[in-house]
A and B are shown apart, each in its own frame.
Chain A
Amino acid sequence: MRFFLLILKNLSRHKTRTVLAVVGISIGIATIVALNLVMENASKMIEDTFIKQGDFDFTVAKAGSADVIVSYIKEEQINMVNEMPGIQDSAGLLIYMVPFNNNPYFFSFGLKKEKLELGGVNLIEGRAFEDDAEDEVIIGKVASKNYDKKIGDTINLNENDYEIVGIYETGTAFQDGGTMMPLANAQKLQDLEDTVNLLFVKIAENYNVEEIAQMIEDDSNEELVSIIDIDDFDAVDQGIKIMDAGTWMIGILAIIIGGIGVMNTMVMSVSERTREIGVLRAVGWKKSRVLLMILCETLLIALIAIIIGCGMGAGAVRLLMFSDIAEGFLNPSYFEYTTYLKAIIVAVLVGMVGGLYPAWKASRLSPLEALRYE
């Protein structure tokens, strides 16, 4: 008989109790996996939208903004950036959030027609809007599919009808799940004339991106911030930081709650098997083997919980994608190993935290006392 088989048999004694312990940890793991998938999706989306896509080198935003939609860059600041040496081109983007269908967070973006390419917007069907057309929009590939909107259809945003003249693709769910309209029109609708939320900047050849990015920050008296990589994004949006901290907090809570659950299960299990542990010690089992047996039992519970919890977490995100709010927003990479690695680390910690005390207690039992246990 293999040691593993003995562990399996021990766990199968009280199936309900073992299942409940597994479910307890699985829920914690599922929460961590789901939150991380959403988190990583958000990070990737931000990276793609503000750093990687299009022809621009980096994005400029207003420093200290709580969110990009309240990052207001005024015309004089736009002009200052455009007049700096080394700036080849720039494109201002205004983000406009409107309720549409059942989605209160439907995005419409304002961008000048000639800046579409710089902003990474590729037309895949139809034509671009005209900058002076107040009733034309182009719709993202994902939004077109989700809301069944085609070229020639009308879309009503904030009680205004717009004709869809083209379908675009950027490669990010955030932008592909909305519409784009001329910048001037978006500014007018929001009463934000001469203002943009973000400025996509392209640097001329032979100029250093980091140096120019720094220069923008310095020349604006730190009122503007250059987003070159994902870490810079914290300066204009605390959401990711808060979500990340929240994910870790939930992870720690999962360790504590799951650990207590497993500990309770294993303490009861050890207590019920006191006499048996006495027999094992009497027939020559070392303390370390008894400790290993109990620890392996908890780790096996954790291992099963990893498999179930990862499936549950990924499944929950998949279900969330069917909701109107997440539709077109969420496009997680289910095979992001770091998410599952975090879940495995948490589960193993839960197993160790929950198993160490009962395992230590079992190994310290005097064989004689244990044999006398009724």
Chain B
Amino acid sequence: MVQIKNLSKEFEEGRVKALNGINLTIKEGEYISIMGPSGSGKSTLLNMIGALDRPTSGEIFINKHNLADVKNLAKFRSKTIGFIFQLHNLIPTLTAKENVLIPMFEARGKGKDKKKKAEVLLKKMNLGKRTDFMPTKMSGGERQRVAIARSLANNPKIILADEPTGDVDSKSGAMIMDILEEINNKEKTTLIVVTHDPVIGARAHRKLKMLDGRFQEEANS
């Protein structure tokens, strides 16, 4: 599914090496956690896999497509990747349902079907009665669940979650992880979670630790 070869990313004209020759292979349907201290390069790696940033050197293959050769990265992201951010990043003027509909603007299909799909996704997140709520009227956990529903809008092959529980309490955090794991189990969607939280990290099938832009260790649970 994802193959990373000798990936490096430098900032400030090479003074800062965020990623230092990373090699990684992720199979379809895998559930991976990436842990490490701040500045270890885990979010940078996630951004590279999500085609939000270009590497300084090395290659990333997703479904055998080299990202360096993909001309329309927006289209690629729309079809392949589902992003979940630490801060939910919902659009404050839109309702929960409208936020879920945002990625579907680039997808084909009837508006009616898209609305139905947004409602179904929110229902799956236990937000069936809150589809028309504004983000400001929802709790942190609820907002993050809306963000998960938004990430699933275009049936992505890979979900990239950057500190998905970083801004919610532990109960909501556990609930969010339950939902993500269920998606991984049922839909066979590849799930890559970046986290500081060892409890959250420990839930993954495969746990990676990073330090100074390299994988420090890899251990199977």
Assembly CA distance A76 to B64 (angstroms): 98
The digit string for A352-374, where 1 denotes a CB below 8 A from any CB of B, is: 00000000000000011001000
* Given A283-B83, A283-B103, A371-B85, A12-B93 contact (CB < 8 Å): yes
Q: Which residues of B contact A368 (CB under 8 A)?
A: 47, 52-53
Once the chains bind, are A289 and B93 in contact (CB under 8 Å)?
no
Query: Which residues of B133-157 are within 8 A (CB) of A?
Result: 150-151, 153-154
Enumerate B85-138 residues with CB–CB distance to A below 8 Å. 85, 89, 91, 93-94, 97-98, 101-103, 105-106, 111, 115
CB distance from B119 to the nearest CB of A (A): 12
Task: Tell me how many residues of A have a C-beta within 8 Å of chain B.
Answer: 24
Q: State whether the Cβ of B50 lies closer than 8 Å to any Cβ in chain A.
A: yes
Give the segment of A1-9, A67-75, A218-226, A242-250 that binds chain B: A1-9
B5 at the interface (CB under 8 A from A): no
Give chain B's interface secondary structure class. Answer: helix
Q: Quick one: closest B residue to A280, CB to CB?
A: B102
Q: With A282-B52, A286-B74 as given contacts, are A9 and B102 in contact (CB-CB < 8 Å)?
A: no
Within 8 A of A (CB), among B61-94: 72, 74-75, 77-79, 81, 83, 85, 89, 91, 93-94
Interface flag for A285 (CB, 8 Å): yes
Please, which residues of chain B bring their CB within 8 A of the CB of A115? none
Q: How many residues of B contact A (CB 8 A)?
A: 30
Q: Mark A284-313, 1 if CB is under 8 A from B, else 0.
A: 111101000000000000000000000000
CB atoms of B89 and A371 under 8 A apart: yes
Cβ contact within 8 Å between A275 and B89: yes
Residue of A nearest to B77 (CB): A284
Return chain A residues, CB-CB under 8 Å to B105.
Answer: 3, 285, 289
A283 pairs with B93, CB closer than 8 A: no
Q: How far is the CA of A2 from the CA of B157 in the complex (A)?
A: 26
In the complex, the answer to whether B111 meets A283 with C-beta atoms within 8 Å is no
A192 at the interface (CB under 8 A from B): no
**A284 and B79 form a contact (CB under 8 A):** yes
A281 touches B74 (CB 8 A): yes
B residues in contact with A283, CB < 8 Å = 77-78, 83, 102-103, 150-151, 153
Contact in complex: A13, B52 (CB < 8 Å):
no
- B72, B93, B151: the one contacting A9 at CB < 8 Å is B93
- Asked if A284 and B52 make an inter-chain contact with CB atoms under 8 angstroms apart, the answer reads no
Among B50, B89, B103, point to the contact of A276 (Cβ < 8 A): B89
Q: Is the CB of A284 within 8 A of B89?
A: no
Contact flags B147-188 to A (C-beta < 8 A → 1, else 0): 000110110000000000000000000000000000000000
Q: Which residues from A are CB-within-8-Å of B83?
A: 282-283
User: A279 at the A/B interface (Cβ < 8 Å)?
Assistant: yes
**Smallest CB-CB separation from A11: which chain B residue?**
B93
Contact of A284 with B94 in the complex, beta carbons under 8 Å: no
**Bound Cα distance from A285 to B101, whole angstroms:** 12
* Closest residue on chain B to residue A13 by CB atoms: B93
Minimal Cβ-Cβ distance residue in A for B87: A275
Measured CA separation A104–B86 after assembly (Å): 74
> Given B53, B77, B97, B111, which contacts A2 in the complex, CB threshold below 8 Å?
B111
A40 to B186: give the CA distance in the assembly, Å: 72
Q: Do residues A9 and B77 form an inter-chain contact, with CB atoms below 8 A?
A: no
Q: Mark out the residues of chain A between 6 and 35 whose CB falls within 8 Å of any chain B CB in the assembled complex.
A: 6, 9-10, 12-13
Q: From the candidates B74, B85, B93, name the one contacting A285 in the complex (CB within 8 A).
A: B74
Flag if A282 contacts B93 (CB, 8 Å). no
Q: How far is the CB of B153 from chain A (nearest CB, A)?
A: 8
- Shortest CB-to-CB span from B24 to chain A, Å, is 20
Which of A276, A283, A368 gathers the greatest number of chain B CB atoms within 10 Å? A283
Report how far A282 CA is from B80 CA in the complex, Å: 11
Distance (Å) between the CB of B187 and the closest chain A CB?
18
**B-chain residues with CB within 8 Å of residue A6 when the two chains form the complex:** 94, 98
Q: Considering the chains assembled together, what is the distance between the CA atoms of A282 and B83 in angstroms?
A: 7
Quote the shortest CB–CB distance from A16 to chain B (angstroms). Answer: 15
- Knowing A3-B105, A276-B91 are in contact, say whether A284-B74 is a contact too (CB < 8 A): yes
Residue of B nearest to A288 (CB): B74
Q: Is the CB of A284 within 8 A of B91?
A: no
Shortest distance between the CB of B128 and any CB in chain A (Å): 18
B residues 23-73 in Cβ contact with A at 8 Å: 47, 50, 52-53, 72
The reply to whether B106 and A289 form a contact with Cβ atoms under 8 Å apart is: yes
Interface hub of B72, B102, B111, B153 (most chain A Cβ within 10 A): B102
Per-position 1/0 for A100-125, Cβ under 8 A of B: 00000000000000000000000000
Known: A2-B111, A9-B93. 7 other contacts (CB 8 A): A6-B98, A13-B93, A278-B89, A282-B52, A283-B153, A284-B106, A289-B105
23 A-B interface contacts by CB (under 8 A):
A1-B111, A1-B115, A2-B111, A3-B105, A6-B94, A9-B93, A275-B89, A280-B102, A281-B74, A282-B83, A283-B83, A283-B150, A283-B151, A284-B74, A284-B77, A284-B103, A284-B106, A285-B74, A285-B78, A289-B106, A367-B52, A371-B85, A371-B89
